[in-house]
Amino acid sequence: MDIYGFLIGSWELDIVGYDEEKNVIHSIGEAHFAWVLEGRAVQDVFINPRRTDRGPDSPKFANWFGTTIRIYDPTIQAWRVNWWHTIEQYTIHGPYRWTGKGFGVNLALAPGIPGRETAALSEAMLPQAFAPLLAGSFARMLTLWRTSEPEAFARAWLARAHPIGTQLTVHGGTREVVTGAFDGIEPDGALRLRRGADVEIIRAGDVEL
């Protein structure tokens, strides 16, 4: 299954291309591979020519940045691979232009999601007016986190959390999936997941209800 693990790291590329007139174009590129999404995917970034050789006079031919996302799909026991080399087409003018419109809240626009009602904050106030409020609130909470006892935050979080006993699914960093019942959190914020008679302490992962 782990057929891409050997690529993790940074690489120098010796690239030979042929332009429309069949001239040989030689360049040195670079590639960087890393595990992402808590170890469930491999992402790379290809750059040609390499950043140290790029400049205003760089030729347009074979001048690109590209990225690939490889996600293992256990239902077909194979990797699904998606490659983007023209990011602007996808994120600004293309079919995925909704991606990244807000962080936690939709500031300016709300994406259309079938079967789900969405809204944008711009219907009530200008995003430019809300952004400083959001930044100020984050700064206050960060200061409070750094100066308060962790147990106080744990108690405040539990008061707003789902009830003890709620069934959860947790995706771990090595593509492991575990299920169990919510059993609270540790003073440092780690999740307590009850699995039968045992309680597993989980400090990192994606949690689903």
- Of 85, 100, 120, at which residue does a domain stop? 85
**Average pLDDT rounded to a whole number, residues 48-58:** 80
Tell me whether residue 128 is in a domain: no
Q: Domain range holding 177? A: 150-208
Tell me whether residue 69 is in a domain: yes
Tell me whether residue 51 is in a domain: yes
Q: What is the C-alpha to C-alpha distance for residues 5 and 34, in angstroms, rounded to an integer?
A: 9
Which pLDDT tens digit goes with each residue over 146-184?
787 777 777 877 888 888 889 988 876 556 788 899 998
- Of 45, 64, 85, at which residue does a domain stop? 85
Which pLDDT tens digit goes with each residue over 92-140?
444 444 333 334 566 666 666 666 677 776 667 776 777 777 778 778 8
Taking Cα atoms as reference points, which of 84, 124, 127, 87 lies closest to residue 103? 127
Tell me whether residue 79 is in a domain: yes
Do residues 192 and 186 make contact, with C-beta atoms less than 8 angstroms apart? yes
Number of domains forming the structure of the chain: 2
Q: Which of 74-83, 118-127, 184-193 has the lowest mean pLDDT?
A: 118-127
Q: What is the C-alpha to C-alpha distance for residues 179 and 170, in angstroms, rounded to an integer?
A: 6
Tell me whether residue 100 is in a domain: no
Query: Considering the entire predicted model, what is its pTM?
Result: 0.40
Query: Can you give the pLDDT at residue 176?
Result: 76
- Of 65, 85, 105, at which residue does a domain stop? 85
Tell me whether residue 138 is in a domain: no
